Chain A
Amino acid sequence: MVVWTDQERAYIQDIFSKLNYEEAGPKALQRTLIVYPWTQRYFASFGNLYNAEAIKSNPKVAAHGIVVLHGLDRAMKNMDDIKNTYAELSVLHSDKLHVDPDNFRLLADCLTIVIAATMGTSFTPDVQAAWQKFLAVVVSALCRQYH
């Protein structure tokens, strides 16, 4: 079972309380699609992803970025049982969406950078450690039902 210190919980709650979902979600997904273009394979139905400008102005990408970010809320509210919280979503990503789990890590890294850019120096090493630990647990939970 994952053990969280009070300090780690506080850092995670703090990040979420200050998070602008409408800004961070789209930015994180756009960054993932631009920096790691092979991730575009899952979004063929989103229309024009032809170049960075197209990706940044694509409304479906923006909307989906917000959906994905809100998906993290579940983990934030259930930090002591993230594994089971994501059981359904894991099956969805494996059986229906067929997403290569390495992509979870790529999106997590891009989200980290978006949050770092927003928080600036208040994104201290300890905050970064807690945040990345949180994302690692989420990613691990999402990978669990793959078979």
Chain B
Amino acid sequence: MSLSDKDKSAVKALWSKIGPKADEIGAEAFGRMLTVYPQTKTYFAHWADLSPGGPQVKKHGKVIMGAVGEAVSKIDDLVGGLAALSELHAFKLRVDPANFKILAHNVIVVIGMLFPGDFTPEVHMSVDKFFQNLALALAERYR
């Protein structure tokens, strides 16, 4: 399900609206993922505080959302643009790619929560496709 020009426009337009709150969205989404899908905590067992408001959680949410923002700017070539991140996830972090869609779901929930008027079903569809393609690009180097 590759991204049409319409999808790309929709994602970029939404990002221009929500981008300024990226840090908050990232922290919320990441914190929610750890709470709602406790199995994801296994990757962060070395952190002291995995509660949604914890400092490491907020910081990492910011990092992740920053990368999502970068992906938006590289939307025309996600595989190429995310090559380095894919190598990181494949060889160092070894995050099971099934988790990418779990995180994507939580980002979508947070966007829906904070921007209910902008996150129409049509925009939701394009964003859902975007995250699917992002996940594929991120998993590119896995095997």
Q: Which residues of A contact B (CB under 8 A)?
A: 30-31, 34-36, 52, 55-56, 109, 112-114, 116-121, 123, 125-126, 128-129, 132
Contact = CB atoms under 8 A, between A and B. Distances in A.
Given A113-B108, A117-B119, A126 B124 contact: no
Interface of B: 31-32, 35-36, 52, 105, 108-110, 112-114, 116, 119-122, 124-125, 128
A113 B124 contact: yes
A121 B31 CA distance: 14
Could you tell me the dominant secondary structure of chain A's interface residues? helix
A30 B121 contact: yes
Contact of B31 (A113, A114, A125): A125
A112 B114 CA distance: 14
- Residue among B32, B52, B105, B114 with the most chain A CB within 10 A? B32
Contacts of A121: 113
B60 to A, nearest CB: 15
Nearest to B31: A125
A117 B116 contact: yes
Contact of A120 (B36, B108, B113, B119): B113
Contacts of A129: 35-36
A35 B121 contact: yes
Contacts of B116: 117-118, 120
A35 B116 CA distance: 16
A34 B122 contact: yes
A113 B105 CA distance: 9
Nearest to B115: A117
15 contacts: A30-B121, A34-B121, A34-B122, A52-B121, A112-B109, A113-B112, A114-B112, A121-B113, A123-B109, A123-B113, A125-B35, A126-B35, A128-B36, A129-B35, A129-B36
Nearest to B33: A125
Contacts of B109: 112-113, 116, 123, 128
A146 B31 CA distance: 35
Contacts of B125: 34-36
Contact of B36 (A31, A35, A55, A125): A125
Contacts of A35: 121, 124-125, 128
